[in-house]
A and B are shown apart, each in its own frame.
Chain A
Amino acid sequence: MTAPVTAGLARELAAAVDQLRRVTVQVRTRGAATGAGVLWDGGGSEGRGLVITNAHVVRGDQATIELSDGTGTRARVVARDVKRDLAALEFELCRELVSAVVRDSPPLRVGEVVIAIGHPGGLGGAATLGIVHRVENAGEGRPPRWIRADVRLAPGFSGGPLADTTGRLVGVNTMMQGGLALAIPAVAVEAWVRRSHALVVS
């Protein structure tokens, strides 16, 4: 028996996960692995890179990030929003890195396949697969607060990417609730970065 579709699926999934791992970092605070982060800007404005993670992943104002190739570097918390559970980390770039690509459109559909990358128990670049569980009706002009996904996340997935099958970022994984994953929509993160980072830079 041959299974060409499943074999193709496995190959493509492995490639998509590989690509996503490159924009996922591991975040350590005081030596302990505390979660994951998304490489938001590795293009180097003034030789600095930017990582987005959850505020609950970085407790202090310093952290160490480990890139997918294993290199570690010190990072500084430049913005933190406990209410939104978001934090921005800046670090010195020694070379240009790939950045996550945000999916602005089309809107997410219930049932779409999504991939989450994280570091459960310090395990590097673990992947889980699931589907979009629910897309909240956006309020007047406001993006929905959460993306709910039928994906099983362990603690080390916090702050890491939730992406579609083309590798575009749709959310930042934040918590599990009632067996479902809750991620902050990437579009909301983008708006937050623009606002809070402008404050830091100016």
Chain B
Amino acid sequence: MSPVLQSLSTELADAVESAGRAVVAIHARRRIPASGVHWRPGVVVATHHTISRDENITVTLPDGTTAPASLAGRDPSTDLAVLKLAGQSIPTASLRPDAPPKVGELVIALGRPGPSLTASWGVVSGVDGPWRTWQGGEIDSLLRLDLAIYDGFSGGPLIDAAGRVLGINTSALARGIPVTIPVATVERVVTELLERGTIRRAYLGIGTQPVRVPESLARRLDLKGEVALLIVSLEPGGPADRDGLLLGDVLLELGGAAVSDPVDVLAKLGGDRVGKPLAVRVIRGGQVKTLQVTPGERPMSRAA
């Protein structure tokens, strides 16, 4: 007899079955459908990168029926999208917002790339603090997974052995490496997308690259940091261009903080910075110059 092994098997199948009742298939791209989670009554969460059209979206419910859904908003920076589903009585996902997963915890990734539910298992391979995606999205914690990725993985939930949702899986935020967007981040983005349809982010309209400041220049100008950011692109008519930044300026400080990585710039450009002037220190023509720039609101799918 195998009481433990069989119980494990039954519990995992039970967890899959109960969590699977809130997992739907989303038809919003060619060929294979993507997955989504019925997060709040009438609200389905999916991944932005698997939704290639804004209209004519349908979902396949766990009972196999198809229903129309409308796009309420999307956030490329966290790869999340929110859909509205009217008049359906399927259960919502049971969430685990507290007790973050631990490294080594047994987890299951669910998907529904069509009428049938799919699952792969593995362990949480890494848990780290807050991180910022390459498009500037703020994610509360970095959850890395050791499990097989398959069709329908993105947009599906990561669940624990009790069937509670730990977050939304995506393979598009970290160069194909599977990560989970934690419940707290999903909650925050869903609320904002339902209210405004987009995630408000400030932007300057610059592209930067780290450069080493020549030692002689650093000494002459009495600079502390060795590395600063060279402005390598400037959006014509963008906030930085309008406020007088030039191509070739070397960015030393933004809003009173030294910058040595493009991520440092993103960190200063939260949604609350739109329209509020920031002090900027740059090296221009061998001299340090201080200017003021007022970040604008970032249009969809633009970087810093």
Contact = CB atoms under 8 A, between A and B. Distances in A.
A178 B151 CA distance: 9
Nearest to B109: A150
A82 interface: no
Contact of A16 (B2, B14, B17, B117): B2
B131 interface: no
Interface stretch (B94-102, B118-126, B237-245): B118-126
B15 A111 contact: yes
A133 B108 CA distance: 10
A188 interface: no
Query: Which bucket holds chain B's interface residue count?
Result: 20 to 34
Interface in B1-32: 2-6, 8-10, 12-17, 20
A126 B296 CA distance: 61
Contacts of A130: 121
Nearest to B149: A179
A113 B12 contact: yes
B2, B14, B15, B147 — most chain A CB neighbours (10 Å):
B2
Contact of B6 (A131, A136, A166): A166
B13 A112 contact: yes
A136 B10 CA distance: 19
Contacts of B13: 109-112, 132
Contacts of A16: 2, 5
B2 A133 contact: no
B150 A133 contact: yes
Interface in A144-184: 148, 150, 164-166, 178-180
The SS class assigned to the A binding surface is mixed
A104 to B, nearest CB: 18
A109 B17 contact: yes
A12, A130, A178 — most chain B CB neighbours (10 Å):
A12
Nearest to B4: A8
B4 A12 contact: yes
Contacts of A5: 4
B194 to A, nearest CB: 31
A140 to B, nearest CB: 15
Nearest to A151: B148
Contacts of B5: 9, 12-13, 16, 113, 165
Contact of A112 (B9, B115, B116, B150): B9
Given A9-B4, A150-B148, A179-B149, A111 B116 contact: no
A150 B6 contact: no
A112 B149 CA distance: 18
A137 B117 CA distance: 10
Contacts of B14: 111
Contacts of B117: 110, 134
B156 to A, nearest CB: 12
A22 to B, nearest CB: 16
B108 A111 contact: yes
Nearest to B115: A137
B120 A131 contact: yes
B186 to A, nearest CB: 23
Nearest to B148: A179
Interface string B120-138: 1100000000000000000
A15 interface: yes
Contacts of B17: 109-111
A101 interface: no
A112 B119 CA distance: 10
A110 B2 contact: no
Nearest to A7: B4
B150 A179 contact: yes
Interface of B: 2-6, 8-10, 12-17, 20, 108, 115-121, 147-151
Given A109-B13, A150-B121, 10 more contacts: A110-B17, A110-B119, A112-B13, A131-B12, A150-B119, A165-B5, A178-B150, A178-B151, A180-B148, A180-B150
14 contacts: A9-B4, A12-B2, A109-B17, A111-B15, A130-B121, A131-B12, A132-B13, A134-B116, A134-B117, A134-B118, A165-B9, A178-B151, A179-B149, A180-B120
